[in-house]
């Protein structure tokens, strides 16, 4: 009865649905918990056998679950941070930590619950992962994004993952004027790389989705209406010159078709962008007459902005703001308003900010135990209490600083 007073109707549905979720799908997990209440001592438990993100709940906070190797190669050909990829190679396994409610759990709850409402709502659900306290660099935003993408993939969603949008606005080796629109510029290399990775991630959708429109690339080449998406993507990978336009076409088709309501044809779209603040910033790319290129003049960025606009339904946009790769922004900027700018904030509005902060004590414990288990902390003093206190002091429980510190200890 208290529910009625505390929560309005819609959120009440949320709470009941979430309860049902945890009750029905993972009933066996709850029974296990009932049988071993005393064994859950924080010091010894840092791994969990539950590898499916859908079944992970608050009980698994701070624990590591293993990413199956097949998923690593298909879902994340380009998504994981470089140091994490090195770690996966060294430890011969990829383990991700299930983090606190303010970060990924909240996201997963919302996504799972909203999943059934998505066809009804008029707009995509926009979630932004921001570094919350004190300009937090290295607090685990990209890893949280990857955790969410793993969840979406296992639930059968189509994942559109842009690993680092900052890479598209700087250091461009080849800039071609766009064939479709005269004032815009193409980036063939980045576009074809992205299409190749997109193909690896979403193999099973490529033959199911049919095109709604006819696309003409040159006088002799065109893709007919009704042909599968896979053909379009292959064309973009092989014909590098028109790959940026192919990317635009792919995004448009997915946007139109994500709103399908029929069970067999419909799919849900998850757009995951890392470093979304680069879409509204400045670029370092210059035209031939040395004048700077604005982000709107790049085809890839223009098409991405259309994805973030609120005029399609049937999916979610998950984005990370990062100052690290961004151009012309001060290193102390961490709030969404500062990083996105006026224009960016208005187009991302309304969004749900999800803060990602440093490790809590429990999370730090489990990270420490994980490194000990994988024989990563080798210095004899690092296994003592004094050494541990020193590690906490030096790293302030920041995930990336901790990782770099333990690398040579």
Partner 1 sequence: VSASSIGRLVMLFLVRWSRYNPYYLEPEPRKELYNMPETELTTEQKEERELKAVRPIKATTNSTTSSVFNDPVLSKFVNMMMRDGEKILARGILTQTLESLKRKQVEKYHKAPQGKKAEIECNPYAIFHQALENCMPVIGLASIQKGGKFYQVPVPLTDNRRRFLAMKWMITECRDNKNRRTLMYEKLSQELLAAYSKEGNVIKRKHELHKMAESNRAYAHYRWW
Applying CB under 8 A, which residues contact partner 1?
86, 89-92, 374-376, 378-382, 384, 386-387, 390, 407-409
Nearest-approach distance from CB 374 to partner 1, in angstroms = 7
Cβ distance to partner 1 smaller for residue 362 or 374: 374
Cβ distance to partner 1 smaller for residue 328 or 408: 408
Nearest-approach distance from CB 262 to partner 1, in angstroms = 47
Cβ distance to partner 1 smaller for residue 93 or 296: 93
Instruction: Return d(Cα 97, Cα 165) in angstroms, integer.
Output: 25
Cβ distance to partner 1 smaller for residue 73 or 379: 379
CA-angle at 342, arms to 336 and 346, nearest 5°: 80
Nearest-approach distance from CB 394 to partner 1, in angstroms = 9
Cβ distance to partner 1 smaller for residue 286 or 389: 389
Query: 68 and 76 in contact (C-beta within 8 Å)?
Result: no
Nearest-approach distance from CB 89 to partner 1, in angstroms = 7
Instruction: Return d(Cα 254, Cα 148) in angstroms, integer.
Output: 20
Nearest-approach distance from CB 382 to partner 1, in angstroms = 7
Cβ distance to partner 1 smaller for residue 164 or 403: 403
Cis peptide before 350 (omega within 30 of 0): yes
Nearest-approach distance from CB 229 to partner 1, in angstroms = 39
Q: CA quadruple 37, 39, 44, 50: dihedral positive or negative?
A: negative
Cβ distance to partner 1 smaller for residue 59 or 374: 374
Tokens of 405: 């510190």
Query: 359 and 397 in contact (C-beta within 8 Å)?
Result: yes
DSSP string, 147-197: HHHHHHHHTT-EEEEES-GGGGSS--S--EE-SSSTT-EE-HHHHHHHHHH
Nearest-approach distance from CB 355 to partner 1, in angstroms = 31
Residue 316 forms beta bridges with which residues?
A: 125, 270
Q: How do 125-131 and 352-356 pair as beta strands?
A: parallel
């Amino acid at each position: 009865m208290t529910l009625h007073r505390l929560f309005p109707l819609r959120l009440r549905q949320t709470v009941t649905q979430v309860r049902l979720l945890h009750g029905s799908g993972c009933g066996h997990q709850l029974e296990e918990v009932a049988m071993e209440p005393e064994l859950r001592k924080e010091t010894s438990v840092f791994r969990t056998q539950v590898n499916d993100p859908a079944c992970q709940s608050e009980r698994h906070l701070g624990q590591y679950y293993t990413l199956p190797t097949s998923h690593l190669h298909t879902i994340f050909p380009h998504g994981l941070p470089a140091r994490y990829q090195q770690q996966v190679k060294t430890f011969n396994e990829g383990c991700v930590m299930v983090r606190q409610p303010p970060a990924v759990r909240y996201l997963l709850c919302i996504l799972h619950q909203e999943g059934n409402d998505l066809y009804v709502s008029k707009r995509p659900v926009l979630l932004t992962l921001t570094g919350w306290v004190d300009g937090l660099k290295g607090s685990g935003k990209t890893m949280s994004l990857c955790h969410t993408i793993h969840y979406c993939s296992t639930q059968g969603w189509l994942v559109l993952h842009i690993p680092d949008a900052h890479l598209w606005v700087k250091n461009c080796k080849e800039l071609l004027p766009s064939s479709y629109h005269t004032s815009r510029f193409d980036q063939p290399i980045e576009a074809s790389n992205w299409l190749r990775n997109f193909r690896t991630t979403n193999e099973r959708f490529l033959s199911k989705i049919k095109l709604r429109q006819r696309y003409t690339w040159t006088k002799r080449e065109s893709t007919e209406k009704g042909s599968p998406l896979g053909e379009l993507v292959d064309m973009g990978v092989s014909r590098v010159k028109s790959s940026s336009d192919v990317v635009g076409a792919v995004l448009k088709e997915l946007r139109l078709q994500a709103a399908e309501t029929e069970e067999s044809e419909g799919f849900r779209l998850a757009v995951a962008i890392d470093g979304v603040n680069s879409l509204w910033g400045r670029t370092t790319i210059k035209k031939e007459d040395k004048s700077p290129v604005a982000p709107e003049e790049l085809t890839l960025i223009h098409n991405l902005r259309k994805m973030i606009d609120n005029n399609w339904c049937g999916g979610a946009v998950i984005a990370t703001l990062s100052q690290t790769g961004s151009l012309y922004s001060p290193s102390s900027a961490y709030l969404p308003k500062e990083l996105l700018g006026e224009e960016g904030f208005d187009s991302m509005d309304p969004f749900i900010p999800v803060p990602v902060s440093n490790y809590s004590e429990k999370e730090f414990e489990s990270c420490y135990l994980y490194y000990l288990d994988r024989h990563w902390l080798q210095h004899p003093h690092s296994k003592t209490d004094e050494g541990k206190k020193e590690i906490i002091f030096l790293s302030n429980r920041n995930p990336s600083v901790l990782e770099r510190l333990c690398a040579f200890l």
